[in-house]
Amino acid sequence: MFERNIKSIIAYMVLLILAFNIFQCSTGVENSPDPGIVRVTIQSNPDDTFITIIGDTFRVSDADTFKVNFFQGKIYNNEKYALLYKDTKSYTTEEVAFNVFEREDNTYKKFVIYESYALPQSYNKLQIGISE
């Protein structure tokens, strides 16, 4: 009977050691800091009321419109890059267009071109495609 109790105690201790080791396991992947959000905005210069197109200068009025398309936004960390998306819920890159002459409260409106999650690191370059 004494042998039976020792076997039970040893089996119980082995189970405890195994359970302890299972809960102490590491996957080797450490938690990374939360991602940041990169927000790229554009606003026409409120002091500049003229536009020059192929040598001709025009005065911009409140009724004028000028649509600008933005596409292929990227931020770079040397050679590595991350794509920029329209907002934090987007998962595809897409072209976005804004009337850069649009006014709000008597000044040019500020537009958010991109708002994307990004890894927490330093970026040294912003690349955006622009067309009319």
Q: Is pLDDT larger for residue 5 or for residue 78?
A: 78
Q: How confident is the model at residue 104 (pLDDT cuts 50, 70, 90)?
A: confident
CA 62-98-37 angle, 5° bins: 130
Q: What dihedral angle (degrees, nearest 10) is formed by the CA atoms of 61, 63, 66, 67?
A: 150
Asked if residues 74 and 66 have their Cβ atoms less than 8 Å apart, the reply is no
Q: Is the predicted pLDDT of residue 95 greater than 60, yes or no?
A: yes
Q: Is the predicted pLDDT of residue 99 greater than 70, yes or no?
A: yes
Residue 91 makes CB contacts below 8 A (sequence gap 6+) with 85
Residue 67 makes CB contacts below 8 A (sequence gap 6+) with 97, 98, 99, 100, 132
Q: What is the pLDDT of residue 45?
A: 81
